[in-house]
Structure formats: C-alpha cells, structure tokens
Amino acid sequence: MNSNQIQNVYFIGIGGIGMSALARYFMHIGKNVAGYDKTHTQLTDELEDLGMHIHFEDNVDRIEKKYLEKETTLVVVTPAIPKNHSEWNYFLSHGFEIRKRAEVLGIITKDTFCFAVAGTHGKTTTSSILGHILYQSGIDVTAFLGGIVEGYNSNLIGSGKTVTVVEADEFDRSFLHLHPNLACVTSMDADHLDIYGNVESIEESFRMFANKVNPEHLFVPLKVNLKGNTIGIDERADYEALNIRILNGFYHFDVQTPSKLMKDVKFGLPGRHNLSNALIALAMAEKYGVSEDGLKAALETFRGVRRRFSFQVRNEKRVYVDDYAHHPTEIEAVHNAVRELYPGKKVLAVFQPHLFSRTRDFMEGFTESLSKFDEIVLLDIYPARELPIEGITSEVLLTKIENPNKKLVGKETLFEVFQQSDAEVFITIGAGDIGEMVKDLKKVLDDRTQMA
C-alpha cells in the first residue's frame, strides 16, 4: 500500500464502527473518501456531513468515476461482507488493491509507537480512555476506536503521526496484523465461536497476540491467564486500585503502582468493570511516561463512550441507560453497575440478541444474566451477517429466562412498554439496531417526566 500514490479510498461497509474511524483518518490526511453500506445510520449521516459520498445500494453504477481508477484507489472491505457482493467482486475482477480494515491499520501503525488494546470485552472503553489520556497530555497521538467518544463526537481522537492507539479486534484474528509496542488483553472469554469453533482456539489466538510484545510490555487483569503486568481491583497486583469510594457519582480511589502510590484518583464511569478498564489505561500510559498529574486530570475528565453505559435520562424519578452489551459477561457487568448505583430500584432491561450463532452459543449465559433484572423485555434476534438457525429464536430464550416478569415484543410495542412501566431504571441492551431507537425511547420518558 503506497499512501503517496493513493488519492481515493473506497470502503465497502463504511458504516461499521471500525471502518468509519479509518474513513475519518483518510479524509483527515487529504484523501477522497466514499463508500457503500447496507443501511442509513446516525454514523453514516455523520460521515456524509463530513463530505463523504455514501450510497446504500450494492450497485457499481452508483460509485463515482474517480473511485474506479485502479492506479489511484485503495478499496477497504469489512470481513463481514458477503462473498456475492457485486461491488466487491467488481474490484476483485478488475485487479484493484483490496485490503481488510485490520491490514490497513497494521500498515498505518507499523512505523508508530503503537498501543494495542485487545479483549473480548472492554477494549472500546479502555482504548478510548487511553486515547483521551495521551491526547490530553499533549502527546502526538492518533487513536482508532470502536466507539464514538463523548466530548470528541468521533471514533478518531487526534491526528498525530508518532503514536497510535488501536482497538485490536479478535474477530477473524484481525489483531494479528498489528505491530504493538505496548499491549493489553482486558478479557479472554468465549466469543465469535462461529469463527473460532471453541474456547481453546480463541485463547490460542489471544496468546499469539500477546506474544507480539515482551511480558513487561503487556498488561492484563489478574483473571486473564497471560504473563504480563497485572491489574487488580482491591486485589494485590502490579497495578492495584484500592480504598475505593463513590462520591458525587465518581469513583475515588488510590492506585498502587510498582514504584509509588497515587492518591485520590477520580473516575466517572460506573461499574467495577469500567474501573478495571481505567486502571489498565492508566498503567499503559504511566509506562509510556505520562505524569501522575496528567493521568489524574485525564481520568477525571473522561466522559465515556456512546452506547457504553450511556445515560440518556437521569433525574429523580427515572433513569435510562443504553449499552452495547451483547455477551452474557457484559450484561452481567451492566447489571452489577446498575445495582451498585441504584440499590433497591426496580430495573427494566430490554435486550435485542445479536446474531443467531451467538444466541445459540451463549443461550444459557444469556438466560442467567438476564434473569437477574426485575423485568425483562426481549426483541427479535438481530441477524447482521447471518441467516436464521433452526430452533434459535428470542421465543426460545424467553422460555428459559427464570423470571415471571418477562415478555417478547416488537419494536413498535416497545414504546408502549416505556410509556406504561412502573420501573425506575430502564436499560436498552444490544449491538444491533436497537441503538437507533434510543432517541425516541428517551423522548417517551422525557414526556412522562414533563407530564407528571
């Protein structure tokens, strides 16, 4: 990939969260950027507002002429694209340079000091915190992220050329294209079993990623069975958060590092899982050389990531939180955070399962984690790239949930649920298109508050 020769970059699947970060990057460095995606979303609207030409029909005739010039165009594809996609096949048959997103990231970051953040859960929040710390500390950084960071309204932080932060995705073993200098693995649970087949293959892939750095340059929570700097929450570790309190909506805690004790660090995202994410980011930034004052100032000002325990309504009568969780462990973390913040409150959780294969593989885990809420509402499975699997439906999941306060509804009915429920805390959960409903669901609760 010769970046000097490339004038145009065309994305197939431009609306994906990782793809759109790359699209923003190429536009920022002066390339022409366009692409295809299956559906309009808030994210594609934001890219179009930046001047990117996006269409939503798989049709080569819709592609602007300059992107059909082979010598000056790079084509970037998402691994989720179907093999019969006509635009992709056009570029293949005409000999264009075609790269997966992870390959492009590997090329861009190879000649930088690269922080790579991996893990089945927590990598978006951890990499966003890390990017924020480095950027606020005046470091020449670009952070490629898997979520829209509050306060930046983007999944790309900075425009530096010497340091990069990359969310290292395990899907399709994509993270093995990267060349990290410092790395972390936030968690190593089973996921993407449609790709890996079994837990052992996933763990082996993470070990291959971890081996890209020396153990002294790897950071892992105590529960992750890899050799590196350990991270602990109220547990003895190389980097330990201790004396943890909650004051005025913020965690206050001390951090014991291998060399010193940092007193009264403040961090505003709820949940012990987010405290662990923050501690990993702090440890990596401290290893790089960010000062204690810089670390504290940045952690206190981090505002979160869109759809990661994102408060939509927060008043004395009701709370509404939206979260991207799509794995039983993530749902459990959301549940624990809500119970810690709002003990004794009635909690209604709306869950849209993501992928038939994931619903099949983690049916028992979903059953256990969802049963803990006071009221559960299911939507139909969001298929994304998959065809239905016989016997795997939201109806089947519903029958397994051990809670009498449960039901399956269509999207239209969900607004009635929000209108009528006596819950005090509402949560929408899922990685599908449930996120597109959040704005309208928020309005229902806002209207209820005004009418009361």
Establish whether 66 is an annotated binding residue: no
Distance CA(320)–CA(421), nearest Å, equals 13
Q: SS3 of 61, please?
A: helix
Residue 168: both structure tokens together: 């290292």
Helix or strand run (H / E) with residue 145: strand 141-149
Residue 337, Cβ density class (10 Å: 0-12 exposed, 13-18 middle, ≥19 buried): buried
Distance CA(185)–CA(326), nearest Å, equals 19
> Under 8 Å CB-to-CB from 96, ≥6 apart: which residues?
70, 73, 75
Establish whether 121 is an annotated binding residue: yes
Establish whether 147 is an annotated binding residue: no
Through-space distance between the first and last CA atoms of the chain, rounded to whole angstroms: 60
Residue 391: both structure tokens together: 């016997």
Helix or strand run (H / E) with residue 406: strand 406-408
Establish whether 119 is an annotated binding residue: yes
Establish whether 432 is an annotated binding residue: no
R_g of the chain, CA atoms, integer Å: 22
> Under 8 Å CB-to-CB from 78, ≥6 apart: which residues?
12, 13, 16, 18, 19, 100, 101
Establish whether 411 is an annotated binding residue: no
Distance CA(90)–CA(75), nearest Å, equals 11
Establish whether 344 is an annotated binding residue: no
Q: Binding site residues, as ranges? A: 119-125
Q: Binding site membership for ATP: which residues?
A: 119-125
